[in-house]
């Protein structure tokens, strides 16, 4: 029987586009704000505290988008772990909607259809499938019994759905706060 795998899901700190209320998606080069660095440092301190308690991460994997990598760098300094990056942990892609004010999306997005996507974007079903594939590979060959994944709000919601056995039409409605750490055990 396989041992359980513990995931520590870290949402990146506030980015410049979070602060400006712009849709980020997979836009690569959006940096953290000063508050975002503070949130990332707080998440990193939480990981370091878990390590002191004997339940910290043995591996650190991040989305390859700048806001996540900057957050992961804080986590690396506090834990002494190297950062591995992967596009599998990117945020949901919003295609042509990226860079637009988030408030405009309520009129443009069909939130009831998990297969809807903006032109050049990714549907919730595609995000869910990407995350499910990544988690299956991670569980099959985990780099450590506890792995910190530095990622994005919608990606964390997809992870939670996949682990709970829920489909892309049942992602949790609540997005974790910037700089939060969510503990999840895969059995």
Per-residue pLDDT of the chain (187 residues; tens, 9 = 90+): 567 999 999 999 999 999 999 999 999 999 999 999 999 999 999 999 999 999 999 999 999 999 999 999 999 999 999 999 999 999 999 999 999 999 988 788 887 899 999 999 999 999 999 999 999 999 999 999 999 999 999 999 999 999 999 999 999 999 999 999 999 999 8
Closest CA to 183 of 83, 46, 39, 61: 46
Number of domains in the chain: 1
How far does CA 84 lie from the centroid of its chain?
A: 14
Annotated catalytic residues are: 12, 91
Report pTM. 0.96
CATH of the domain at 55: 3.40.50.1240
Separation of alpha carbons 140 and 136, rounded Å: 6
* Domain range enclosing 27: 5-186
Q: Which two tokens stand for residue 164?
A: 């709970």
């Amino acid at each position: 029987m396989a041992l359980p795998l513990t995931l520590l899901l870290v949402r990146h700190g506030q980015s410049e586009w979070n602060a400006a209320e712009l849709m980020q998606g997979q836009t690569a080069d959006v940096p953290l704000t000063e508050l975002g660095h503070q949130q990332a440092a707080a998440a990193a301190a939480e990981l370091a505290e878990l390590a002191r308690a004997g339940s910290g991460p043995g591996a650190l994997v991040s989305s390859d988008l700048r806001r996540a990598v900057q957050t992961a760098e804080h986590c690396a300094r506090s834990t002494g772990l190297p950062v591995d990056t992967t596009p599998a942990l990117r945020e949901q892609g919003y295609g042509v909607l990226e860079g637009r004010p988030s408030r405009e999306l309520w009129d443009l997005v069909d939130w009831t259809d998990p297969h809807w996507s903006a032109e050049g974007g990714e549907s919730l079903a595609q995000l869910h499938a990407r995350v499910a594939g990544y988690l299956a590979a991670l569980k099959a060959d985990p780099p450590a019994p506890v792995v910190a994944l530095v990622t994005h709000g919608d990606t964390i919601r997809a992870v939670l759905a996949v682990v709970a056995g829920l489909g892309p039409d049942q992602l949790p409605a609540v997005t974790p706060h910037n700089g939060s750490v969510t503990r999840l055990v895969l059995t």
